[in-house]
Amino acid sequence: MVNKEDEKFPRSDTVQGPDIDIEDALGAAWQHHYTSVLRALGVEDPEHGLNQKDIEARRQEYGPNQLEGGDEISIWKIMLHQIANAMTLVLILAMGVSLGIRSWIEGGVLAGVVAINIIVGFFQELSAEKTMNALRDLASPTARVIRNGDGETISANEVVPGDIIELTTGDTVPADCRLIESMNFETDEALLTGESLPVAKDHTQVYSAGEDVGVGDRLNMAFTSSTVTKGRATGIVVGTGMNTEIGKIADALRGAAKAQKIRDVKRNAYGKALPHRYVQAGALTVWDKVNGFLGTNKGTPLQRRLSQLAVGLFFVAVLFAIIVFLSNNWTDNEVIIYAVATGVSMIPASLTAVLTITMAMGSKAMVKRNVIVRKLDSLEALGSINDICSDKTGTLTQGKMVVRKAWVPASGTYNVSETNEPFNPTLGEVSVNNVEPRDAEVGSDSTDGEVVARSGKSDKVKGNERFEDFVNVASLCNLATVFKDKESHAWTAHGDPTECAIQTFVTRFAWGRLKLTKGADADKEVTEKDRTAAKWSQIAEYPFDSSVKRMAVTYVNNQTRESFAMMKGAVERVLESCTSAQTDEGKIDFTEDFEKRVLENMEALASQGLRVLALAHRKLSKAESDLAEDLERSDVEANMTFLGLVGLYDPPRPETAGAVRKCKEAGITVRMLTGDHPGTAKAIALDAGIVPRNTTKYSKTELDSMVMTAAQFDKLSEAEIDALPQLPLVIARCAPQTKVRMIEALHRRGKFCAMTGDGVNDSPSLKMSDVGIAMGMNGSDVAKDASDIVLTDDNFASIGNAIEEGRRMADNISKFVCHLLAQNVAQASVLLIGLAFKDETGLSVFPLSPVEILYIIMVTSGLPAMGLGMEKASLDVMKRKPRSNKWSILTPEMLIDLTVYGFWMAALCLATFTLVEFGWGNGELGTSCNADYSESCDLVFRARASCFSVLTWFSLLLAWEVVDTRRSFFNMHNDGRWYSQWFKDTYGKNKFLFFCVVGGFFSVFPILYIPGLNDIVFLHTGISWEWGIIFVCTLLFVGGIEVYKLCKRVYFRRKTVDRSKLLDEEMADAEGDAA
């Protein structure tokens, strides 16, 4: 029982604990009496705490109270990450060759390309890391400590071992501490242990040294990042920073990340390995390291594919360079630089920069949609996700308990309509009917009946004595408060989540605790007049105890002077104290039949996913009232009258069902991994649409595997898991290792999965998943550091937004990769076939100069490619299945497209050069036309200018053509006016791309006609009649692509119809589930 005078701390010189050394105090405080810990840490009086000298010494010895490396940003690591990719390394090699032969122009251009790629990637990744650190610092916790005999509030980072800290409801524990005093104290340790319910603490507990006590069972300890949900306590700090339980997990994760992966040595049946096996293992390890450095075996499917492509193109480039040399007998520097240009023509040089900028722009767009991208590549990875493993509390649900139903035998079953604000009693309404929960139809959640409360007002309590007894207990046997904040005008609740829900329920009837004990409504300020008019005054409190699983209070009615004992708790524990019950027939004996009726109603509520509590009371006799403050708990809790049941749950977010349905339409399976009870988990999964309501099309085996407990799942071997027709959609009572096993099982099935988490215990699964998603509001720092993206609103719907953005980016990346690689095919083909043009000395005359090639690569390719990265999402982006991980963006269709486009461009470019040189020209190829201008080279320079112009225009027009790989450029969004639609699709949809293309068209003219720039740098000259050939070839280019697209539309028409039918069926199933 709580008395008015709290017991003071016993001084350390009067306690019974034995002396221990400081290592024991810091390493195993739960095994020792708190007074032993006080003495070991040099705290003579907990009411005085540490002095300034001790504080400084311990800060020097133990450092700040923060996790190592959390806020550090390694500039060199970020820089190395930009350089160590195959695409950049190839460009650096080409730059080195160019500068080595003193080809300053070409080398300078390549140096600029490399610098742009590195600088853009560096600053974008640095910006992402800084954003994450800013997010981490948004809610830096504080701590109330006792130092030098005074209480003060300091930053949690300043706490040192030996500090005395004070904890009250709502506080975040700043460091691991051994409790030295506690009163009705409970903490939420879900971030550390995954336990969804608060843990009741007891500072008097001491565990033996030989006893194996898990972190979650150390009831005399409070741990970093846990939240105080009830009561108050005082503790002595025994662990800070990396020496906390969270720090140990973070250290283990960091160590695992740094561990070197070495190939195992193959051994024979006797466990021995032959010498060559060691050589084999060593060679494979080196091979893994090389691939890791080049990025060919790490990252997302797209990154791995592009890195592999870059390595492959490097060897092709070397081969092409050798061909150039062989065809010209290794003669001079012009041949060398042409060989370099030919090699570079096969490398999409602007791809790295465009890819980084596109992802950076996507990450900035995601900030507006409540997603912080920690790693740019994760956003692209989201586009390939086909499985999401989500936590329940706070992600799929609101993370706040609400009363859904209440069964009061004396007056009926009360149903609360759903609202978006769990603590706002003025929203929604309460209705009552006479159907008991056990008699309701299975799956029914009817709220039909008389409305008895609306907008926080009701006239159904006064005059209804039996229901008044129920709401009196619900309101007064409750430590939570619900009120309207004066400044924000938002409804707020303080206290245990369960009690906050019950307090909100009674406040709907204007019968809240503030009203009954202080005389004021919850949305008004308490006045002295209100206090004198208060109807009830508390006498004593008997706190909730985990051993009895109930709490009780005694109150006196100030108007009648009658005293009452009131009880709330677990149904079984309340029933064992009841001898009577309040029903519509009046007060009756609590018989076995009535107990059966209560338990059947409890089971009915629990089957709906509700947490069920029972309420009871009794009127104290005159003798008991006189001694109410001194009554023993056992006397108060005897001979109770049962009043009813209340069912609570953590409701799904309003947008969750729609977000899950959206994921299903997109071919993504949503799974829920939660620590909750199986019944609760299944009910939430049904509400959210994760588990289908229509089960007729599923076999019994499939239905049995849909919902499992962690114990059932963990008992299965890998072979048994792989043999399941489908992996569970819901796993209840889920442990951290279960989440890891689920990810492993998904990977064995070739799935690309995302995992959400907020607690320290989620970190291993976040790291193992393909995309780790942490919670920004309620997530731990360790979970955020292990994640790839962070949700700032902890909302599952934001994951759908991220996936949509990821798919948009993947589509756009596919477009500009096709655009760039098609040009590479065209450029390389022109340069290689152009080797056949020989001058009088037998040297090849190059149809394109090296600077022309580099200009096309960077300007007329890079900028339009960036514009393609800005394309808006297609209308069906979330109505198609994820991309196959087998191909990523380099699908067979895309490879055929870029090959066709590239060869068509090359054919027309070579035709242009040939017509100018040999058709209307005299075929003179001059001498040394690859080095500088002379009169004999005039025709070659004019043919080269024509070839450069058409290739530039082809590259620009191709950017518009690949916006849609099948629809005509003139009719991408059909409105019936083909002659104007192209302008709407280009200018109206993407202005950046429009101006890049138009600007690129006109950029050709100054390059052709400015003296010095044309003949010295670009090695071409101005043209006149050649424009007729250029315009005709441009029309042929567009016409050829349109014919190719028409053939594709005919070929894919049948497949498109089939896919539409399949999509309609999937949407019908999703709508059926929602209904």
Q: Which residues are catalytic?
A: 391
How far CA 84 is from CA of 77, 293, 307, 817, 967, in Å, comes to: 10, 6, 10, 20, 38
Q: Which residue has the tokens 């109410």?
A: 628
Is residue 237 helix, strand or coil? strand
Alpha-carbon gap, residue 84 to 290, rounded angstroms: 10
Q: Taking Cα atoms as reference points, which of 231, 153, 148, 146 lies closest to residue 188? A: 231
Amino acid at 235: G
* Residue-wise DSSP of 136-197: HTTT--EEEEEETTEEEEEEGGG--TT-EEEEETTPBP-SEEEEEEEEEEEEE-HHHH---S
Instruction: Give the chain's length.
Output: 1075
Phi, psi of 232 (to 5 degrees): -145, 160
DSSP string, 348-395: -TTHHHHHHHHHHHHHHHHHTTTEEESSHHHHHHHTT--EEEE-IIII
Q: Which residues are bridge partners to 454 per DSSP?
A: 429, 457
**3-state SS assignment for residue 99:** helix
Structure-token pair, residue 461: 């309590």
* Pairwise CA distance, residues 1023 & 704, whole Å: 76
Pairs from 454-458 (Cβ < 8 Å, separation ≥ 24): 454/429, 454/430, 455/426, 455/427, 455/429, 456/425, 456/426, 456/507, 456/508, 456/510, 456/522, 456/523, 457/510, 458/430, 458/508, 458/509, 458/510, 458/511
Q: What does the alpha-carbon distance between residue 1053 and residue 698 come to, in Å, rounded to a whole number?
A: 32
Q: Helix-strand-coil percent breakdown of the chain, rounded to 5?
A: 50, 15, 35
Can you count the helices (H) and strands (E) in the chain?
Answer: 37, 28
Which long-range contacts does 9-12 make (Cβ < 8 Å, 24+ apart)? 9/45, 9/46, 9/47, 9/180, 9/181, 9/234, 10/35, 11/44, 11/45, 12/38, 12/39, 12/43, 12/44, 12/45, 12/46
Other CB atoms within 10 Å distance of the CB of residue 21 = 9
Backbone phi, psi, residue 650, to 5°? -95, 105
Contacts of 843 (CB under 8 A, 6+ apart): 328, 331, 335, 930
| Alpha carbon distance 530, 514 (integer Å) | 10
Query: Distance between CA 369 and CA 792 in Å, rounded?
Result: 9
Residue 236 token pair:
């002595």
Residue 1067 exposure: Cα atoms within 13 Å on the Cβ side: 10
- The DSSP bridge pattern shows strands 730-732 and 707-709 to be parallel
Q: How far apart are CA 842 and CA 277, in angstroms?
A: 54
Q: How many Cα atoms occupy the beta-carbon half-sphere of 482 within 13 Å? A: 32
What tokens were used for 144?
Answer: 């109330």
Residue 48: name the closest of 157, 116, 150 by CA.
150
The H or E element containing residue 289 is: helix 275-294
